[in-house]
Structure 1
C-alpha cells in the first residue's frame, strides 16, 4: 500500500504519458551511442516506482530494465510537480565509482511529473587523472567528497540504504531517539520519497522493530507537524 495514493489520471493523460515514454526510447539509445561506453542513459516511468526503469542503454550503475528508481528518483517523487531538472551533479556509487549525472523530469500537458530521463557518465578515471596531474604539479588538493547514492534493481535495498543513512545522521539507534528525533526521522524519510513506495511503511517499521500501526502513526504525526499553519485570511503562514 502506498502512503499517499495519487489521483488516477484520465485515459487521455495516460495515453499521452505512454506516448512520451515510447517516443523517448530511441533517444535513450542515441545519447548512449553518442557518448560511448562510459555513458548510461536511463528512462524512468515513475508511475511504477518499484520497476521504474523502462529503457536503458549503457552500464554505469548496474541496473537493468525493470529495475527500481534510485534515491534521486524517490526525491523527485517526493517533490511531486514542483520537482525541477537536476543537471551536472556528481555522486558516488557504493563501490566507489564517481558518476556525473543529469536528471530531466518528464511532464505531461498538465505539467504533472510522471518520469525522468537520466544521463550518467562514469568520470572515475577523470577524477583519478586530475588527482595525479595535481600531485605531479605540486598543487594542493581540496577534496570535496561526493555523496554516495544507492542504485539497484530492488527498491527495498534503496529504501534500506536511505533509512541507514538517516539513522547514521541521527547518530543513535531508534531506541535511543526521543519523540522529536523519531518524528524527524520519519519526516526526513518522507522528504526523500521513501513512502511513495508500496509497503515502505511496513518495511521501515520492521527495520525499526515497531508495529505497522506505530509506523503509520509516526508518519502521520510527522506530516502534521510539517504542514504549514494557515493564517487568518486562509493562506499559508
Structure 2
C-alpha cells in the first residue's frame, strides 16, 4: 500500500476518534518523514497546534529509541500543554508494508480537571493515612519527564537543547571534550538531529563548526 493510501485511511480516523472522546481531547496524525512539519491532520485544540507543526519531544524520543520495532503503540503517558494543564497521551505507530515507521497517530486527553476533583475528594474523605487504593494516579503514569504539547519548531529545539545544557557550564569555553561528547550524545538520543537545522543550531549554541558536530556524532554511533 502506498503512503498516501495509508495516511488517507488514518485521516478519516482523526475526526472519528475526536468525536468519540469529546472536546477535552486532541487527535493528531504525523508524517514522521518531516519531523519539523509532521502534522498532516488534527481534530481538537488542546495545544493550539496547526497543520504543519512539528513532532513533540516525546515523539522524537520514541522514534530515536525505535520503540516501534518492539511495540505497536505507547499508551497512557503524561503530557503538559504550554499553559501547564495535565493530559494523558498515547501514540500509535503507523508502519508500511516493510514494517518501517512512516507516521504516528497521537491522542491527548485533558485530565487536569479530573485530577483536581480527585484531590478535592481525597481532602473531603480525610483518610490520607488510610491505604484506600494502590493504583497509580494519572500523574504517576509511565513518563518520568512529561511530554510537552504545543511547541513550535523553534521552541521545541530550544527546549531540547536547553534541557541538556542546563547540566553543564554556561560558558562554552569551559566545556571539555568529554562534556561535548556527552552533550551531543544526549541531544542525539533526544532526536534533535532528526530535525531540519538541528546540527546548525547545536553548532551555534556550542560555538562549534557543523563539521565538528558531525565528527562527534560519528563517534557515538
Q: Do Structure 1 and Structure 2 share a fold, with TM-score over 0.5?
A: yes
Per-residue deviation, residues 123-156 of structure 1 (Å, max 9, x unmatched):
1101111111112222449975963433346323
Computed over aligned residues only, the root mean square deviation of the Cα atoms, in angstroms, reads: 2.3
Structure 1 residue 93: Cα displacement: 2.8
State which of 187, 190, 197 in structure 1 corresponds to 2:188: 190
Q: Report what 1:40 is aligned to.
A: 26
Unaligned 5+ runs, structure 1: 1-14, 224-237
1:118 matched to which residue of 2? 106
Q: 1:177 to 1:138 in 2, by over 3 A?
A: farther
- Written as runs of structure 1 = structure 2, the 5 A alignment for 1:92-107 is 92-107=80-95
Deviation at 1:110, TM superposition (A): 0.6
CA shift for structure 1 position 171 = 4.6
Conserved in 2, the CA contact under 8 Å of 1:83 and 1:113? no
Instruction: Provide the aligned length of Structure 1 versus Structure 2.
Output: 208
Q: Which residue of 2 aligns with 1:157?
A: 155
Corresponding residue of 1:232: none
In the other structure, the counterpart of 2:133 is: none
User: Could you tell me whether the CA contact under 8 Å between 1:68 and 1:155 is conserved in 2?
Assistant: yes
TM-score by length of 2: 0.85
Partner residue of 1:63?
49
Which range moves more in the overlay, 79-88 or 69-78? 79-88
In the alignment, what sits opposite 2:132? none
In the other structure, the counterpart of 2:134 is none
User: Helix, strand or coil: the match of 1:62?
Assistant: coil
Preserved contact between residue 46 and residue 114 of structure 1 (Cα < 8 Å): yes
8 Å CA contact retained: 1:43, 1:117? yes
Distance 1:97 1:127, change over 3 A: same
Within 5 Å, give how 1:157-236 maps onto structure 2. 157-168=155-166, 170-173=167-170, 174-223=172-221
Cα distance in 1 between the residues matched to 2:157 and 2:39: 16
After superposing on structure 2, the runs of 4+ consecutive aligned residues of structure 1 that deviate more than 4 Å are: 141-146
Shift of 1:181: 2.4
110-119 or 127-136, larger mean C-alpha shift: 127-136
